[in-house]
Amino acid sequence: MDAAWNRVRTVFRQRLSDEGIVGGSLWLRDASGVVRRELVGYADLASGRAIDEETIFHWASITKTLTGIAIMQLRDRGRLDLDDAVVTYVPELEAVFNPFGSMEEVTIRQLLSHSSGFRGPTWPWGGTEPWHPHEPTEWSQLAAMIPYTRIEFAPGSRFGYSNPGIVFLGRIIELLSGDDYEVYIDKNILKPLGMFRSYFDVTPYHLLPHRSNNYFVDGGSPTPNGLDFDTGITVSNGGLNAPIPDMLRYLRWLGGDTTVTEHAASILARSSLEEMWIPQVSVPPTPSSGVTEAVGLAFFITRSGPIEVIGHTGEQLAFLSFFCVDPTSGVAAIAAFNTTGQAADGPPVPNTRLVRAEMRSLVLGEVFPMLR
């Protein structure tokens, strides 16, 4: 095992150095609970603050898995059915142009499995001025855009990754619970797991010393984007911030460890969690990836040889991340990076997406078989 881990950590350090990635963090947890970690580079260049165990990263689309769990909680409480029409809860969606039929045919299950036909990116109407909001900040702003939205393919017919679909699930959570999304997730998932340093959007003052900056590179030196940004009404799609030790609590729970806290077992029935990992739609293969993927309910199911894991990736501004968990053994890996390249022509430098894919493949291929 030591040889495999040493190879992984060596490759991790070398690839971050080769690509000019400012900072990154990779953690592994084996079936017995032993944690290995590799911390590289800086959380903030200007202050010289290094990446450490307490560094807070932005997790972007990994937030979607929390949204899915919240929907399953509401399902188990009898508040909704996964095959209910989304317009039952979000009637504004009646105004979406659907050339394939009625909006009554678009279901909560399809939103969870990225098979609803909604577009991929969030909203195409944003601007580039520094005073423009990162995302719409109010539901009324988003609702005003809905009549300009269309269904791109027949709902349920195939996979099509959709950020707006998850935003609509966040709206359902708020309407049925009476809580803001952030409050609901904090009360029903984060706090019961003991994730006390996890939060959404703007960093609380006492956690600012641990917050990672993030950097774009466009043919020159890294340019900081700043510590914070507001995901607004799209928070359910990608607003989570947390240090990796908090995220490991989440991964332990996904891996079947209900001793994370005394409240962990009550968050969601294991049978409901495992229901989320049943493949709903296949994902088109990525050339030379060496893995096959399907999407369940808010989680991706990835097979690499004999290893099958559940997980998700995240990417927003210059933060990139991934996690994967073997739900049978509890073995887990998680990584985060705070830099990415921008290029009008050719591959970006740093190509952090490529580094993320390489590290995930290496972990699944060489380390997971030994940790189980």
Number of domains in the chain: 1
User: pLDDT tens, 269-282?
Assistant: 999 999 999 999 99
Token pair belonging to 113: 């499995």
Query: Which whole number is the average pLDDT over 273-301?
Result: 91
pLDDT at res. 289: 66
Place of tokens 């993927």: 293
Q: Considering only CA atoms, which of 361, 211, 206, 225 is closest in space to residue 293?
A: 361
CA distances from residue 234 to 39, 113, 139, 201, 202 in whole angstroms, order as listed: 30, 18, 9, 11, 14
Neighbouring CB atoms inside 10 A of 32's CB total: 9
pLDDT grade for 124, boundaries at 50, 70 and 90:
low
DSSP state of 266: G
Task: Quote the CA–CA distance of 173 and 103 in Å, as a whole number.
Answer: 20
Helix 352-362 / helix 2-19 crossing angle, nearest 10 deg: 170
pLDDT average, residue stretch 245-252: 98
pLDDT at position 233: 93
Residue 349: name the closest of 21, 25, 14 by CA: 21
pTM, rounded to two decimals: 0.95
pLDDT tens-place string over residues 81-114: 999 999 999 999 999 999 999 999 999 999 999 9
pLDDT digits (tens, 9 = 90+) for 136-184: 888 999 999 899 999 999 999 999 999 999 999 999 999 999 999 999 9
* Structural domain containing residue 134: 2-371
Q: What is the CATH number of the domain that holds 35?
A: 3.40.710.10
pLDDT of residue 218: 85
Phi, psi of 77 (to 5 degrees): -90, 5
Least confident interval from 5-19, 194-208, 342-356: 342-356
Q: Is 353 helix (H, G, I), strand (E, B) or coil?
A: helix
pLDDT value at residue 31: 82
